Amino acid sequence: MSMHVVLIAAVGAGLGALLGGLKSCPDGGCPLTANPWRGAIWGGVLGLFIGLSSGSGIKAEPPAGPVSANASWQEVTTPEGFQREVLDQRGVTVVYFHADWCGVCRRYGPVLRRVADDTAGRARYVSVDADAAEALAQKYRITALPTTLFFSNGELRGRLVGGVPEDTLLGAIAKAEQEAASESTASEEKANV
């Protein structure tokens, strides 16, 4: 990634210097075209901005498949897979909606991975690429990424939008666990009556 950013910044600086050399702004009021030095500086800054915002092909974290030794992840792209891996499951399921181009997703992924390691056996983890599974993203009204959904016994119980701290994530999982436990207790009592 860093080589990609440096290359784009260098190209921007070169183009800015070229524009500055043309001196199409003789009064000096235009930052790119007043002189070659100013053109190079502003072109480099603009190139750096473009390079950093382009994402340079880095995959969002966590990638498909297992991402840690303790927790296993399921990648879901279809409504049928979502039904099987989330809605038909007992207990807590954490669903992570992300996209490859999402910078916040890349920063949030390691946090989610640590929490998954800490809660392995207490919760299932499902990863959904919002671009590959647009129907699911629309159904669950995913309007910002990353979005983490919490299901308890197949029912949506909570939602966190954006990259959240580890303690917030752990609190949401604990709440979903409590709801799953109270739901199980209520159904057991109902069966015994």
Q: Tokens representing 159?
A: 């939602």
60-to-91, 130, 137, 146 alpha-carbon distances in Å = 26, 11, 16, 10
The pLDDT assigned to 33 comes to 61
Exposed e or buried b for every residue in 25-52, given b needs 16+ CB within 10 A? beeeebbbbbebebbbbbbbebbbeebe
Q: Do 61 and 114 form a contact (C-beta atoms < 8 A)?
A: no
Q: Confirm whether 102 is a catalytic residue.
A: yes
Query: 110 and 164 share a domain?
Result: yes
Q: Is the pLDDT of residue 21 over 50?
A: yes
The pLDDT assigned to 193 comes to 55
Query: Structure pTM?
Result: 0.65
Is the omega angle on the peptide bond into residue 62 within 30 degrees of 0, that is, cis? yes
60 lies in a domain? no
For the ranges 11-15, 66-70, 175-179, 188-192, the one whose mean pLDDT is highest = 175-179
Of 102, 112, 126, 180, which one is the catalytic site residue? 102
Of 13, 46, 105, 172, which one is the catalytic site residue? 105
How many domains would you assign to the chain? 2
Q: Is the pLDDT of residue 53 over 70?
A: no
Where residue 167 sits, what CATH number does that domain have? Answer: 3.40.30.10
With 0-12 / 13-18 / 19 or more C-beta atoms within 10 angstroms meaning exposed / middle / buried, residue 71 is: buried
Mean pLDDT calculated for residue range 81-100: 96
121-154 residue pLDDT tens? 999 999 999 999 999 999 999 999 999 999 999 9
Q: Which amino acid is at 183?
A: E
Q: Which amino acid is at 3?
A: M
User: Coil, strand or helix: which one is 69?
Assistant: coil
Residue 48 sits in which domain range? 2-53
Query: 166 and 96 share a domain?
Result: yes
The pLDDT assigned to 129 comes to 96
The pLDDT assigned to 135 comes to 95
77 pLDDT tier (thresholds 50, 70, 90): very high
67 lies in a domain? no
Q: Is the pLDDT of residue 82 over 70?
A: yes
Query: 96 and 26 share a domain?
Result: no
